[in-house]
Amino acid sequence: MQDAIQQLRIAQYTYALPDERIARYPLEARDASKLLIYKDGDISEDHYYGLHQHLEPGTMLVFNNTKVIPARLQFVKPSGGVVEVFCLEPLHDQASGMTQQGEVVWKCLVGGAKKWKSGALTLENGPICLYAHWEDKENNLVRFQWTPETATFAEVLEVLGAVPLPPYLARPAEAADRTRYQTIYARYDGSVAAPTAGLHFTERMFDQLAEKGIARAHLTLHVGAGTFKPVKSETIGEHDMHAEYFDVPLETIKNLRLQFQIGNVVAVGTTTLRTLESLFLMGSKLLHQPNLDLPALEIKQWDAYAPEHTHTTVLAAFDALIEWMEANAQDRIVAKTQLMIAPGYRVRTILALVTNFHQPNSTLLLLVAALVGDDWRRIYQYALDHDFRFLSYGDGSLLFNT
């Protein structure tokens, strides 16, 4: 199966997206965005504030509570040249990368790198003064130091950084993006892109969902810039899938396991789905090799397509994962996943997915095609024909697993 999937041509997963259909700004009301519903082959539409009407009592919605950081830093050299340093991920774990005081090393994208040959770059605002040094230019590692040293790097970014809007919005970040390019339930600093399916949710929606008996759970996956990386290779197998950190407490995993047994799970966003499927695959690995350590459990790009996962049930996989965590005194799973979900992959953990409309030639579109099959074309054509707004600030969909 893996060989067949790797030979899929990305040209099969593209469509014409007119520039005017890209939503460059969000609607005034988050939950007023349109919602396409795909179920049993039928397509209809509503608005996000009507989501509760399309879900049954006893359903659980699972959200990604990552928080977008102001990851873009613009340094102006004495000569007037601008060097933009885009913080991607810390050299070590995400939590310490944000809470470190005085000094930290991050992997970065550097725009205008030719203007920065050596020496420190300086950026200052009020009491915060930040210095950037090349730590390892070949590997794009930048060492940051700042004063006052008692400030955390999260506090430094909050003062000096800009919101990392997606490149396809083709505009600079504005003050309103600090709020609107962030879910209302964002909690843990670490993403350089928003889990955009969650941008539409409001307290009004949460009240409606609760009144209907629909539960909520949260996990964390820090979204990397690789989420915007188009597949430029001819075949999917030649594409290098980006890896992202996720963090899920044992208590959440136990609650999910119970929900898999008694009800239906709906993932809010592709990042949530990737995390749920990665947890399943970790448990499936443990069923076959119970003594694996955490690095061996991490999900690589093509791990999902190994034949041993074919007949594993979600309950058995989660039981194995819970047993391993308890035996190893782990109260949470913090790991990386490079999981690529592409047509041919069988999504096991969810009843449905809430997601925005994604770029042509993207791994996110491949994920949608894996969930709904060839009907992705009908879904996207319907959205184009009925004035849906596309990409991060656009409208969304509720896609039931086929």
pLDDT score of 114: 82
**58 and 89, same structural domain?**
no
- Cα separations in angstroms, 40 against 28, 273, 400: 32, 20, 8
What tens digit of pLDDT does each residue of 13-48 get? 999 999 999 999 999 999 999 999 999 999 999 999
pLDDT score of 366: 96
**329 and 314, same structural domain?**
yes
CATH number of the domain within which 145 lies: 2.40.10.240
**188 and 50, same structural domain?**
yes
Q: What whole-number distance in Å separates Cα of residue 357 and Cα of residue 378?
A: 13
Residue 7 lies in a domain: yes
pLDDT score of 81: 83
CATH number of the domain within which 57 lies: 3.40.1780.10
Enclosing domain of residue 44: 2-67+184-400
pLDDT score of 1: 66
**61 and 77, same structural domain?**
no
Pairing of strands 188-191, 66-68: parallel
pLDDT score of 303: 94
Number of domains the chain contains: 2
Q: What whole-number distance in Å separates Cα of residue 295 and Cα of residue 312?
A: 21
Mean pLDDT of 202-207: 98
pLDDT score of 123: 95
Residue 310 lies in a domain: yes
What tens digit of pLDDT does each residue of 114-124 get? 888 778 899 99
- Cα separations in angstroms, 290 against 303, 319, 331, 371: 17, 12, 18, 30
Single out the residue in 162, 197, 216 at which a domain terminates.
Answer: 162
**35 and 81, same structural domain?**
no
What tens digit of pLDDT does each residue of 313-360 get? 999 999 999 999 999 999 999 999 999 999 999 999 999 999 999 999
Single out the residue in 162, 193, 210 at which a domain terminates.
Answer: 162
What tens digit of pLDDT does each residue of 219-278 get? 999 998 777 777 889 999 899 998 899 999 999 999 999 999 987 999 999 999 999 999
Residue 264 lies in a domain: yes
Q: Is the pLDDT of residue 173 over 70?
A: yes
Residue 396 lies in a domain: yes
Residue pair 389/34 in contact (Cβ under 8 Å)? The answer is yes
**133 and 45, same structural domain?**
no
What tens digit of pLDDT does each residue of 127-157 get? 999 999 999 998 999 999 999 999 999 999 9
Residue 169 lies in a domain: no
Residue 20 lies in a domain: yes
pLDDT score of 118: 76
**331 and 191, same structural domain?**
yes
Mean pLDDT of the chain: 94
Residue 177 lies in a domain: no
**199 and 121, same structural domain?**
no
Cα 370 to the center of its chain, rounded Å:
17
* Residue indicated by tokens 């810039």: 225
**376 and 282, same structural domain?**
yes
**23 and 107, same structural domain?**
no
What is the amino acid identity at position 272? T
Single out the residue in 109, 130, 162 at which a domain terminates.
Answer: 162
Residue 337 lies in a domain: yes
**371 and 233, same structural domain?**
yes
**353 and 264, same structural domain?**
yes
Contacts by 314-317, CB closer than 8 A, 24 or more apart:
314/260, 314/280, 314/348, 314/349, 315/257, 315/260, 315/261, 316/283, 316/284, 316/287, 317/279, 317/280, 317/281, 317/282, 317/283, 317/284, 317/286, 317/287
Q: Above pLDDT 90, what percent of the chain?
A: 85
